Structure 1
Amino acid sequence: MRRGVYAKRIVYSSMVSDFFFPQPGGVESHIYQLSTKLIDRGHKVIIITHAYKGRTGVRYLTNGLKVYHVPFLVIYRETTMPTVFSFFPIFRNIVIREQIQIVHGHQSLSSFCHEAILHARTMGLRTVFTDHSLFGFADAGSILTNKLLKFTLSDVDHVICVSHTCKENTVLRASLDPLMVSVIPNAVVAENFRPLHATPHANDRQSGGTSQLQHTPRPIGPNDIITIVVISRLFYNKGTDLLIASIPRILASHPNVRFIIAGSGPKAIDLEQMLERNVLQDKVEMLGAIRHEEVRDVMVRGHIYLHPSLTEAFGTVIVEAASCGLYVVCTRVGGIPEVLPQHMTTFAKPEEDDIVLATSKAISALRSNKVRTERFHDQVKVMYSWTDVARRTERVYQGISGDISPQEFYGYYPGEIQEAGSDRIRNFSLIDRLKRYYGCGVWAGKLFCLCVVIDFLLYIFLEMLFPRANIDIARSWPKKLNEASSTKTERDRLGSTS
């Protein structure tokens, strides 16, 4: 088979994470959009997450996407209580019912993700982990999280990070081979985040006309109101304290500025108290928690999007804001500088004075009409695509499954194949798995090996007590005729070129 051309086969994969809809967020949107695009490309995808209020059991979403809401105890920020082994019986049942081949976990703080990867490797399944966050190395919480990540990624087939900064952070935290980590960024559905002046008329679509604009945005005058939008979880790491300190100073310097803040969290009380102390209720509108489908309607009410985060691996919300035609003011932390070009953003240090200064610069730039925000949507639409994310993720699946040669997938030179390839291609032998875990630390390595042995014994017990033959295989969602034929045509085309 020629280099770069490989036979495409249908992959049965499972996305596992504590974070999924109806909770809004970047990780939740990433899992949903990636899953639907992989289904569009002919693969089977299911999602395993915990039960949310009013959502328990099995749910079907758009495009036949099946979601298993497992009833587990949630202890903090929609994260389930880590139990290590109690999730295994139901996870095994789901995986066998759905004939899963690859388990894809998301997010470092997800208990379901870590446990699913451990159990999947015990069951002889390929695994992928996607990291969406950045963590430090000094505080107690980060040290424990990094040790947990080291445990999980010691026996994972491949890792995906959403930015190059995130990749560097993950490689250092988990002591990974950089060639086992790919960078695949987030994306947005640009059609769902159109600015007001680019909202298409229904009659224009039906008639096939070229006029797609409701109106052209008029220049902002010196006395016009400029609205700054903030949509974020109100937690410390999202820079809510910086936001609380900056708002009174920004409003004092710019009387014709208003704020719209959407989101919920423990810092919401501090934000409300600040508004009462400074009597700013008429200039700051707090919307509370909003659903993801309402984000665009809130964003198009503003001119500037303010993102004062202290740490961020990617920042999908700033891409959504730029797609809606907002000028972005954000902190220069983590992977944020990789997300948007400089003409769409004004960067600030994660400090109160610098955020106030950067916001003032953005306000002046809009009033002087130096920024052409009406062009942002079309530019973002070209830069980010979920179809491209799904295609690159599919290549990772093909690489760990052996459909792509190791030298093409990992990118090392032919002379290194024998030596390097053996370390990167994970086998399922228990003794080899124990060797990988044993090197995680003097005490941690022994503890990790004990967990793996217990997990393996539990798996043998489940196989004896609940044989696979007694588990019914779930029927796949019926594909439309044109979808099935297009998938078959693509397979035939790829096969004919090999």
Structure 2
Amino acid sequence: MPYNIAMVSDFFSLNQPLLIWIQGGIESHIYQLSSKLIDRGHKVIIITHAYKDRTGVRYLTNGLKIYHVPFFVIYRETTFPTVFSFFPIFRNIVIREQIEIVHGHASLSSFCGEAILHARTMGLRTVFTDHSLFGFADAASILTNKLLKFTLSDVDHAICVSHTCKENTVLRASLDPLMVSVIPNAVVAENFRPLSNDSRAADQGAMSPIDQRPQPAPIGPDDTITIVVISRLFYNKGTDLLIAAIPRILALNPNTRFIIAGSGPKAIDLEQMLERNVLQDKVEMLGSVRHEEVRDVMVRGHIYLHPSLTEAFGTVIVEAASCGLYVVCTRVGGIPEVLPQHMTTFAKPEEDDLVVATSKAIAALRSNKVRTDRFHDQVKMMYSWRDVAERTERVYKGITGDISPEEFYGYYPGQGWEVSGDRVRSFALIDRLKRYYGCGVWAGKLFCFCVVIDFLIYVFLEMWFPRANIDIARSWPRKPPADKSHSSNGGRRDQ
């Protein structure tokens, strides 16, 4: 059956000239997932904060409605956490749109955490998708993990983008592993075509003469190999590692150049390194680029270098492989799960190993041992947003009871398994308080206090601002459900 779904996150800056990491990460996931769910007959809205002059209600293609709520932003597009002040307008939106499921995204999103709390108070089903990895030792991670524990103590189900991300989230939030599904990101492969595909399309009259390009020839021993880097220039993205490795890579491989796209606080360190080593003619810095420009940057290269120190999934390396680039990346987080071995060369997150791995990749390309011309079709078969939407829809069916707990959690009669009642989240206040009370000696009591206050605010709003006074919004005409017999090959990862 179709559902009315609200996607909630601080990170949805569509059409804003921001950094590539925002344009290509969580935002892309929310937009593509929402579009495919609409194609499958569901109603989807997005709730986020205002971006500059973008406030109020906006519509995107396919009838996707966005609520830009004016709120104070404190750091990297994250709103100031107030816990309760978001409740009145959130309740108004949920009632107007007749929302049944609230789906929050990102651990660091204040809107996400608060929306899940308020939705449970209102008797709505909730889902959380985690896109990041966090540690356990530093002060920032400890605080983030405690807030995540608060957010997920009463959530119906969680989704992670990789198995490594799932392990991390289960440990951070003390979740039952069966209440966490693994559904990877995907790419729109047609938006990341290699140059050879452009040539074929041009031959068929699908492209203008300006975009026609010749079929790439095999790389000769004296041909220049271009290495592309598209990333936030932050510490956790391995920018310091990149700064140290670039001079050594260029010294070992003379016919090599770099193209670096992205911006951040480490950009000045990168520019200083280029000046010290006089490498301006070997390294081209493009600054921040929009997501729709990523493909045009990638097809200029042969190798994609991803020196990240931590990564839950790494959508950009899938995009690079789809563009026909050989990928060199660090073996951290969920990255080893993303692509097959014949598309990648892995390195330890160390300077020496990164230099060696990049040199091996250059040698492999020069010897023409790597068939990068096949990468696009292979990625297209592995990743599909339609598959992601189907698997997310199954989660919705599981938490709403449209499929049995035995089918959802994988337990079948006659095998000695029993489905625990703890996995079916009750809306009763006393049951919710029991779940929050176990979050810690002091934190548990504080969380229970917040839940009680949230419940009292809800009662006040129901009395003084009754639902009958809120106009119901007219829904965009629903599409007929997509053919549910279809199943793409992206389902190679278990949920």
Q: Same fold (TM over 0.5)?
A: yes
> How much does 1:447 deviate?
0.4
Residue of structure 1 equivalent to 2:254: 255
Residue of structure 2 equivalent to 1:125: 124
Residue by residue over 1:96-118, the C-alpha shift from the partner in whole angstroms, topping out at 9 and shown as x without a partner, is: 11110000001111111101000
SS at match of 1:270: helix
C-alpha distance in 2, partners of 1:415/1:119?
39
Residue by residue over 1:38-77, the C-alpha shift from the partner in whole angstroms, topping out at 9 and shown as x without a partner, is: 0000000001111112311111111111111111111111
Matching of residue 444 in structure 1 with residue 443 in structure 2: yes
Q: Which structure 2 residues correspond to residues 337-486 of structure 1 after superposition, within 5 A?
A: 337-414=336-413, 420-479=419-478, 483-484=479-480
C-alpha distance in 2, partners of 1:449/1:322?
47
Q: Which residue identity is paired with 1:144?
A: L
C-alpha distance in 2, partners of 1:218/1:206?
22
Structure 1 contact 407–417 (Cα < 8 Å) conserved: no
C-alpha distance in 1, partners of 2:114/2:280?
46
Matching of residue 201 in structure 1 with residue 201 in structure 2: yes
> How much does 1:280 deviate?
1.3
Residue of structure 2 equivalent to 1:14: 6
Most deviating of 408-417 and 292-301: 408-417
Residue of structure 1 equivalent to 2:267: 268
> How much does 1:149 deviate?
0.8
> How much does 1:222 deviate?
1.3
Residue of structure 2 equivalent to 1:26: 25
C-alpha distance in 1, partners of 2:176/2:112?
21
Q: Which structure 2 residues correspond to residues 66-465 of structure 1 after superposition, within 5 A?
A: 66-199=65-198, 200-201=200-201, 204=204, 215-414=214-413, 420-465=419-464
SS at match of 1:230: strand
> How much does 1:215 deviate?
3.9
> How much does 1:416 deviate?
8.9
SS at match of 2:66: strand
> How much does 1:386 deviate?
0.3
> How much does 1:78 deviate?
1.2
C-alpha distance in 1, partners of 2:267/2:404?
52
Matched-pair identity in %: 84
> How much does 1:275 deviate?
1.2
Residue by residue over 1:124-149, the C-alpha shift from the partner in whole angstroms, topping out at 9 and shown as x without a partner, is: 00000001111111111111111111
C-alpha distance in 1, partners of 2:163/2:418?
26
> How much does 1:206 deviate?
6.7
C-alpha distance in 2, partners of 1:254/1:420?
59
C-alpha distance in 2, partners of 1:417/1:12?
36
C-alpha distance in 2, partners of 1:94/1:250?
54
Residue of structure 2 equivalent to 1:58: 57
Please report the TM-score for the alignment, with normalisation by the length of structure 2.
0.93
> How much does 1:214 deviate?
5.5
Residue by residue over 1:124-177, the C-alpha shift from the partner in whole angstroms, topping out at 9 and shown as x without a partner, is: 000000011111111111111111111111100000011111111111111111
Residue by residue over 1:465-491, the C-alpha shift from the partner in whole angstroms, topping out at 9 and shown as x without a partner, is: 211111111111134xxx43x66x979
Q: Which residue identity is paired with 1:21?
A: S
C-alpha distance in 1, partners of 2:415/2:268?
57
Question: What stretches of structure 1 of length at least 5 have no aligned partner?
Answer: 1-8, 208-212, 492-498
Q: Which residue identity is paired with 2:204?
A: D
CA distance 1:218–1:52, shift in 2 (3 Å): same
> How much does 1:382 deviate?
0.3
SS at match of 1:370: coil
C-alpha distance in 2, partners of 1:52/1:463?
30
Structure 2 contact 411–418 (Cα < 8 Å) conserved: no
SS at match of 2:455: helix
> How much does 1:427 deviate?
0.8
CA distance 1:238–1:420, shift in 2 (3 Å): same
Residue of structure 2 equivalent to 1:210: none
C-alpha distance in 1, partners of 2:53/2:307?
33
SS at match of 1:229: strand
> How much does 1:417 deviate?
9.2
Question: What stretches of structure 2 of length at least 5 have no aligned partner?
Answer: 15-21, 486-495
CA distance 1:394–1:228, shift in 2 (3 Å): same
SS at match of 2:23: coil
Please report the TM-score for the alignment, with normalisation by the length of structure 1.
0.92
> How much does 1:420 deviate?
3.5
CA RMSD for the aligned pairs? 1.9
SS at match of 1:201: helix
Q: Which residue identity is paired with 1:188?
A: V
Structure 1 contact 194–377 (Cα < 8 Å) conserved: yes
C-alpha distance in 2, partners of 1:222/1:418?
61
CA distance 1:94–1:357, shift in 2 (3 Å): same
CA distance 1:464–1:15, shift in 2 (3 Å): same
> How much does 1:413 deviate?
4.2
> How much does 1:402 deviate?
0.4
> How much does 1:25 deviate?
2.6
Matching of residue 45 in structure 1 with residue 37 in structure 2: no
Give the aligned length.
474
Q: Which residue identity is paired with 2:89?
A: I
> How much does 1:216 deviate?
3.0
Q: Which residue identity is paired with 1:318?
A: I
Most deviating of 51-60 and 125-134: 51-60
C-alpha distance in 1, partners of 2:190/2:406?
38
C-alpha distance in 2, partners of 1:56/1:202?
41
C-alpha distance in 2, partners of 1:37/1:214?
32
> How much does 1:464 deviate?
1.6
